[in-house]
Structure 1
Amino acid sequence: MRASVLVPEQSGTPTHCPYCALQCAMTVTGSGGHHTHDGGATITGRDFPTNRGGLCRKGWSAAELLKHPDRLTAPLLRGEDGVLREAAWDDVLRLISERVRTTQAEHGPDSVAVFGGGGLTNEKAYTLGKFARLALRTSRIDYNGRFCMSSAAAAGNRAFGVDRGLPFPLEDLGHASVILLLGSNAADTMPPFVQPLRRARADGGLIVVDPRRSATARLTEQGRGVHLQPTPGTDLTLLLGLAHVVVAEGLAAAP
């Protein structure tokens, strides 16, 4: 049994980019409106608050994975001889269910864990969490952001009471006349993020702190902002200096 993705012939399937957590909206359209496991699909950007129809190169090329020779289009089961062979979905799902039940019966519910990722949509992340808590009854839930976002989550909790992501809609940046980007090269790593920076750039208020002359730093050229190039290792000195100015000159909002 081969799994396939059905794509309407006319409108395509609205979805989101499977990579970073920016969740840029896109539409996937299959060639001739048929299933896309043969790689016959095209990507178009879709109007959405985070990307407004734009995509980075990862998004535009996302459909290329559909025709990669190593892409799995059916479940594989390893036989007693150690060789992986295609198997029917019903057989594989039955085996997984049996293994989960056996493992939890012997070692308890928390012996089984689930692992998500930042590329999941909110709906998928919610469903995965609900499946873990209600179906598997496990408290062991984690995601790939643990390796890169733990420190940011701790700081976000202390500063904003939110442990991940932006504490405001991305489109709110479009109303800011001054924006400080510290150690971020969004122009290369997350190009759609640059769109909300237009007003700040128009007002000359984009401030980029980066020792390198990155693509994001170059957005400050022609009077559109300031590029600060601190010596590596002096980030804390810069931030403490900024904090001192805010407090000493009475610029901080009243608690």
Structure 2
Amino acid sequence: MHGRPEAAPILDLHPTHCPYCALQCGMHLRQTASRKWSVESRDFPTNKGGLCQKGWTAAELLDHPERLLTPLVRDTRSDALRPTDWDEALDRIAGAIRRTQESYGRDAVGVFGGGGLTNEKAYQLGKFARVALRTSQIDYNGRFCMSSAAAASIKAFGVDRGMPFPLADIPNAETILLMGSNAAETMPPVMQYFQAQKSRGGALIVVDPRLTPTAAAATLHLQITP
């Protein structure tokens, strides 16, 4: 008789954080002898073990069959991509940057970052642009998203979009007003704090023309006209 195959032994357990939004939920990454990764719950003050779909599936990127594991280059524009090593790839990049700046000036090369960078990586990217490349052309995706929202919030309310208080204060609030926010879909783990606030008799007011899951969970939904 053949019994069930034994489960691959767990080699390591890594406490880490979900990389996808500013909530930075805590989670564990597990790796087995088969080198597969999986996400497991982690008792962390922010999310208290909960994760959204993005967090639970974060490890799938590590083993995705289409994940790039080596640089790909074209010898000519019409050629197919071929794998190469980092030495050739970086030499090509450095050569292209050098030729462009020699022909059109240092500011002809720009650097574009992203809101998903850690503070340390963002600092290094800025230093690389201004010190190594000596270009003033540096930007990031927040210019088209988060920065405009932050500027509007500062002008309207005197504060950025971030909360000036810890999440733990939410359950103790008598009344909370959410305007255009759909936390139930953008930051699902934070909804447990609003649910705790409602269970203690607090009022959750959502102002949104849409009937979102957050609006459905509110004690009062003000469905204004856009």
Q: What TM-score comes out, normalization by structure 2 length?
A: 0.80
C-alpha distance 25-96 of structure 1, shift in aligned 2 (>3 A): farther
Deviation at 1:133, TM superposition (A): 2.3
Structure-1 residue corresponding to 2:52: 56
Cα displacement string for residues 173-195 of structure 1 (whole angstroms, at most 9, x for unaligned residues): 42433211111111012112223
4+ aligned runs moved over 3 Å, structure 1: 45-50, 159-162
- Corresponding residue to 1:140 among 133, 137, 141: 137
Gaps of 5+ in 2: 1-9
**C-alpha distance in structure 1 between counterparts of 2:192 and 2:31, whole Å:** 29
Count matched residues. 214
Name which of structure 1's ranges 74-83 and 84-93 shifts more when overlaid on structure 2: 74-83
Displacement after TM superposition at 1:228 (Å) = 1.6
Give the share of equivalent positions with the same residue, in percent: 56
- After superposition, residues 1-255 of structure 1 pair within 5 angstroms as 9-12=11-14, 14-32=15-33, 34=35, 40-80=36-76, 82-159=79-156, 165-171=161-167, 173-174=169-170, 175-201=172-198, 202-220=200-218, 225-230=219-224, 232-233=225-226
RMSD of the TM alignment (CA)? 2.6
- Whether the aligned pair in 1 keeps the contact of 2:73 and 2:84 (CA below 8 Å) is yes
Distance 1:50 1:135, change over 3 A: farther
Tell me, in whole angstroms, the C-alpha distance in 1 between the residues paired with 2:128 and 2:48: 32
**CA shift in 2, pair 1:60/1:219, >3 Å:** same
Task: Note if contact 1:23-1:119 (Cα within 8 Å) is conserved in structure 2.
Answer: no
With the length of structure 1 as denominator, give the TM-score of the two structures: 0.72
Tell me, which stretches of 5 or more residues in structure 1 are unaligned?
1-7, 35-39, 234-255
Given that 2:179 and 2:208 are in contact with CA atoms closer than 8 Å, whether structure 1 keeps it comes out as: yes
